[in-house]
Structure 1
Amino acid sequence: MAIGFDYGTANCSVAHLNNGSVEQIPLVGDNCYIASTLCAPTAETVSEYLFRCLDIRPSNDIGESVLRRAVKMNREEGIEVIPSDVLFGEQALNLYLEDPKDVYYIKSPKSFLGAMGLRDMQLSFFEDLVCAMMSNVKRKAEANLERTIEQTVIGRPVNFLGRGGDASNFQAEGILLRAANRAGFKDVEFQYEPVAAGLEFESTLTENKNVLVVDIGGGTTDCSYIQMGPSWVGKDDRQQSLIAHTGQLVGGNDLDIYIAFRRFMHAFGMGTKRLSGLDIPVTQFWNPIAINDVQAQRKFYAHDNLKELRLLAKEALEPEKVNRLIALHQETLGYAVIREAEKAKIALEENAEYKAMLDLYSEHVGIEINQSDMAAAIDNPTKKIQALVKEAAQQAGTLPDVIYMTGGSARSSVLRKAVQDVLPNIPVVSGNYFGSVTAGLARWADVCFR
């Protein structure tokens, strides 16, 4: 049996074709989406969990070394790994929010795939994270369908990072492939996410059109200019219909990060000065919330950086604010801050103002933010998205008949206006913001494995 698998930055979902109709498969109760999050007692727990609880072995010698190291460290910590130790989705988030300091929590590991300059053991650990999440989704889907699933088409962005080029994309796709094989998928194909979304939109067309698909997901924005319609439906060779592609690591996570950085971090001392008159380094306010940058996270949460933060607090004109930054470090609250920024982003789609509440345990910090504040905060990622849209149209050499916007962040009125500003006279339509990629992947799986 074949499924389409959207291993997303924000959420994961799967679907299959049943008598010509796409059916999404519930993963958590009746919910067809599960947040792309994982929580465990320690990072090492994940690698041992795969082996001990799921009987999933590493894919190579480096993975074996990661597993041996994980088992050794877990024994030293007195941790006996059991299945309930590793949680996914909302369960993982809720446990993290209860006690951020004493658990290992990760959101959107897909954002790290393709990162260059990492050690082989780090890449192998990312593979373990992806494998654990894919295995969880696969087992839940199989339980729902009461069938074994061995074939899948997995969505991938045009560019995982936008820097690193082909080497970055090759590395990221390799991690996804090995993780999927280990999770139990024997046959794996990949499809660009915007092309998949386009395949779903194509099923609604009664005439051929030139369509610019703009997929603004949690981690990336991808654009594909596609010739589509009745003449193309069901064809297994679509190369001549695929006219242009652009993509970059800029999406919903970046919106949240920029909202947090430009609107929240002043409460942690950004903009304040030292007694000497010198500025506090901006990286100290960026790194804790840059959840899609593994190097930034490592630098901020390093033990040596805690000493630096305490020194900065002693030298600061407003030490009470910098002390909040210390609390953020000690309680590992970066993800919680981003969570509040995401809530603000969602709330401001329907409300003119929103009061964010940052829970630092020692105090609650309230920050007012309005729609204009948000639009100004996300100006940088907005311009990047506009550039991708413009580049795709330029590559195609002709204007599209219609723009199809999809992806969770495509709901943003700010981003929809930004896209319309680039191509002002082209109609913009949308379908299922969250499910179009999954549905298109299911359609492509039916073509690939029929």
Structure 2
Amino acid sequence: MRIGIDFGTSYTAAAAVVEGAIEHISFHGDSQFRTVVFIPETPVDMSQFDESVYELEVANIVRSEKSSYRARLKEYEQRASQIRVTYRKQARDGDISDEAARRQTEVALSALNQPVLQSDEALKTAAVAAIRRQWVQDQITAGRERSITVDESAVFGEAAIEEFFAYEAGRLIQSPKSLLGYKLGEPQRIAIVRIVANVLRHVRQAASSQLGVEVTEATIGRPVTFRSSMGDAGSKQAIALLREAATQAGFDAVEFLAEPAAAAINYHAQSAAAHEVVVVDVGGGTTDIALGVIGGVANEPQIEATWGMGKGGTDVDLGLSLMAVMPKFGKDNCRLLAPVYVNAAMVSDLNRQLDFRKTRLDGVPEPFTSRLRTLQRNGVAIRLNQDVERLKIALSTETKAAVTLDYIEPDLRATADRSHLEQGYEAFQRSFSDLLRQVSQETAGRTPAVFLTGGMSRAPYIAEAVREHFPDSKLVHGDASLGVVGGLALHAAMQRSLVNRPSSELASTQ
């Protein structure tokens, strides 16, 4: 059985064609789930720590600490000697009195930290404690790596965030798709592939259970351009990692189809007459556009060209967060610079999140210090990001909206109005407008219909931008959430049908 999978930045969905109709895979009663994974952390069994194994390492640490003490003592004695010489000279030259020289020497010497050599027993105790702490961290890391391979321990979607706050220990990862196109060290690459494999395994098992047959093949949607720091190489890497993750998840065969092309297939199936269409798919992490002929007697749409950019709804979330929510954490009201708040808001970038959690808060006044410390806890920024997304959705139809942030601080609320949203989407809208302008220039003299799909296509300002660049085109709104996965399911069914046809029939069609 071959299914279609829309592995999205924000949400993931799957579907199959059963008896000629699209059947969406259910995930706890819903046709999609938020692309968030929580992996509980396995407690460390301290009884397994054997101090005797580290006797040589302890001895080396003690010896090193003694050597370090001698170096620190020598430096202290040199600085103390310089202080004494300086004030004696000032007294000798008549710049200050002998008494003043004595007092200032005492003050300066008191400011120096004179090294203290601990007993051998104290040094050994400290060394064992340091080794034990590192051992615990190693066990936690090993447990994390092991748990990433065990699908039964992972929790997905909204439940993942709820589970994290109940469990309060583990790894909470949002939008792993956004990481696939970036330069990765080997440990990061291994971890991300395993995380994505967990998501795809979750999909495969749900589909197998619902369809009553083992699902081992899939057509997986892909953006025209992945979010990346490496250009085209990033997109190639992302596909390779997705393929590796699919294999780990138990898929024997996978193929990839550009997401706007998938949306076009779904629209094609509903169109009796052939006509030219520009498909605009605005998702959470990417925006993709395809030009093709859709509808009529052809089996599938004829795609002529594609365009894309690595920006989407999450960029609007970032802008809105900086405008309306991060001021509650001191943005523009304390010494911390704007990049700190950008790191806090970019929850799909693990490196930025790590940098934010390491940010020192010295000199930050209350109540911002307490709020930021809470936000630095692993997973809290993801929950805040959900509230920002709710603000964004509400402000698409309302002039004012608010969210409660009582998990940060009792009675804390963030309120935003339409002006905050407009400022928040300004940067994304400029890039989106530039992309639309490119497409309209390359299709000059033609009047294709415009088919809008993707989660962000619901936003009024998206349709306004499309009308600006395609004023004479008919605008058609597709299924914002499930249009792409429906097309992927239809394509998967076509491929399945092609594979199952007799070789003589295949030969006659070639």
Q: How big is the shift at 1:102? A: 2.6
Are 1:44 and 1:71, in contact at CA under 8 Å, matched by a contact in 2? no
* Aligned residue number for residue 390 of structure 1: 437
C-alpha deviations, 1:195-240, integer Å up to 9, x for none? 1001101111122211111111111111111122214324xxx7xx
Look up the equivalent residue of 1:113 and give its one-letter code: L
Indicate how the Cα distance of structure 1 residues 262 and 186 shifts in structure 2: closer, same or farther if over 3 A, else same: same
2: CA distance between counterparts of 1:218 and 1:75?
30
1:292 to 348, 352, 365: 348
Look up the equivalent residue of 1:18 and give its one-letter code: V
Name the larger-Rg structure.
2
Indicate how the Cα distance of structure 1 residues 9 and 332 shifts in structure 2: closer, same or farther if over 3 A, else same: closer
* Aligned residue number for residue 102 of structure 1: 169
* Aligned residue number for residue 7 of structure 1: 7
1: CA distance between counterparts of 2:143 and 2:220?
37
> SS of 2:405's equivalent?
strand
TM-score (norm 1): 0.83
* Aligned residue number for residue 17 of structure 1: 17
1: CA distance between counterparts of 2:297 and 2:190?
43
1: CA distance between counterparts of 2:306 and 2:141?
48
What is the aligned length? Answer: 405
Are 1:408 and 1:433, in contact at CA under 8 Å, matched by a contact in 2? yes
TM-score (norm 2): 0.74
* Aligned residue number for residue 254 of structure 1: 315
Alignment of 1:60-79 (within 5 A): 73-74=139-140
1: CA distance between counterparts of 2:380 and 2:442?
42
Q: How big is the shift at 1:410? A: 0.6
Are 2:223 and 2:258, in contact at CA under 8 Å, matched by a contact in 1? yes
Are 2:161 and 2:383, in contact at CA under 8 Å, matched by a contact in 1? no
Q: How big is the shift at 1:385? A: 1.7
Q: 72-81 or 388-397, which moves further after superposition?
A: 72-81
1: CA distance between counterparts of 2:145 and 2:311?
38
> SS of 1:449's equivalent?
helix
1: CA distance between counterparts of 2:388 and 2:373?
20
Q: How big is the shift at 1:326? A: 2.7
Look up the equivalent residue of 2:215 and give its one-letter code: I
Indicate how the Cα distance of structure 1 residues 79 and 245 shifts in structure 2: closer, same or farther if over 3 A, else same: closer
Look up the equivalent residue of 2:17 and give its one-letter code: L
1: CA distance between counterparts of 2:144 and 2:483?
45
* Aligned residue number for residue 228 of structure 1: 294
Structure 1 residues without counterparts, runs of 5 or longer:
46-68, 275-279
Are 2:42 and 2:144, in contact at CA under 8 Å, matched by a contact in 1? no
Answer 1 or 2: which has greater helix percent. Answer: 2
Alignment of 1:81-100 (within 5 A): 84-98=152-166
Are 1:225 and 1:393, in contact at CA under 8 Å, matched by a contact in 2? no
1: CA distance between counterparts of 2:414 and 2:140?
40
Are 2:265 and 2:490, in contact at CA under 8 Å, matched by a contact in 1? yes
Indicate how the Cα distance of structure 1 residues 332 and 141 shifts in structure 2: closer, same or farther if over 3 A, else same: closer
Q: How big is the shift at 1:84? A: 5.0
2: CA distance between counterparts of 1:312 and 1:431?
51
Are 1:324 and 1:360, in contact at CA under 8 Å, matched by a contact in 2? no
Are 2:357 and 2:376, in contact at CA under 8 Å, matched by a contact in 1? yes
Are 2:208 and 2:215, in contact at CA under 8 Å, matched by a contact in 1? yes
Q: How big is the shift at 1:92? A: 0.5
> SS of 1:177's equivalent?
helix
Look up the equivalent residue of 2:156 and give its one-letter code: F
Structure 2 residues without counterparts, runs of 5 or longer:
45-134, 498-510
Q: How big is the shift at 1:17? A: 1.6
> SS of 1:175's equivalent?
helix
Q: 185-194 or 368-377, which moves further after superposition?
A: 368-377
Q: 323-332 or 439-448, which moves further after superposition?
A: 323-332
Are 2:36 and 2:174, in contact at CA under 8 Å, matched by a contact in 1? yes
Indicate how the Cα distance of structure 1 residues 257 and 359 shifts in structure 2: closer, same or farther if over 3 A, else same: farther
* Aligned residue number for residue 488 of structure 2: 441
1: CA distance between counterparts of 2:306 and 2:144?
50
> SS of 1:170's equivalent?
helix
* Aligned residue number for residue 381 of structure 1: 428
> SS of 2:256's equivalent?
strand
Look up the equivalent residue of 1:41 and give its one-letter code: P
1: CA distance between counterparts of 2:297 and 2:43?
51
Q: How big is the shift at 1:418? A: 2.0
C-alpha deviations, 1:294-351, integer Å up to 9, x for none? 321121123xx2xx22x241xxxx5433442233114652112211111111222333
2: CA distance between counterparts of 1:78 and 1:144?
30
Are 2:217 and 2:253, in contact at CA under 8 Å, matched by a contact in 1? yes
1: CA distance between counterparts of 2:42 and 2:490?
36
Look up the equivalent residue of 2:155 and give its one-letter code: L
Are 1:245 and 1:392, in contact at CA under 8 Å, matched by a contact in 2? no
Indicate how the Cα distance of structure 1 residues 432 and 258 shifts in structure 2: closer, same or farther if over 3 A, else same: same
Look up the equivalent residue of 2:4 and give its one-letter code: G
Answer yes or no: is 1:265 the counterpart of 2:326: yes
C-alpha deviations, 1:106-150, integer Å up to 9, x for none? 11111111112x202211111000001100111011011110112
1: CA distance between counterparts of 2:297 and 2:146?
58
Answer yes or no: is 1:145 the counterpart of 2:211: yes
2: CA distance between counterparts of 1:243 and 1:80?
45
Q: 364-373 or 376-385, which moves further after superposition?
A: 364-373
Are 2:391 and 2:403, in contact at CA under 8 Å, matched by a contact in 1? yes
1: CA distance between counterparts of 2:305 and 2:142?
53
Look up the equivalent residue of 2:353 and give its one-letter code: Q
1: CA distance between counterparts of 2:495 and 2:418?
45
1:212 to 268, 278, 296: 278
Look up the equivalent residue of 2:249 and give its one-letter code: A
> SS of 1:214's equivalent?
strand
How large is the RMSD of aligned CA atoms in angstroms?
2.7
1: CA distance between counterparts of 2:291 and 2:146?
51
* Aligned residue number for residue 113 of structure 1: 180
Answer yes or no: is 1:39 the counterpart of 2:105: no
2: CA distance between counterparts of 1:402 and 1:339?
34
Indicate how the Cα distance of structure 1 residues 88 and 70 shifts in structure 2: closer, same or farther if over 3 A, else same: farther
Q: How big is the shift at 1:374? A: 1.1
Q: How big is the shift at 1:72? A: 6.0
> SS of 2:288's equivalent?
strand
Indicate how the Cα distance of structure 1 residues 398 and 171 shifts in structure 2: closer, same or farther if over 3 A, else same: farther
2: CA distance between counterparts of 1:202 and 1:83?
37
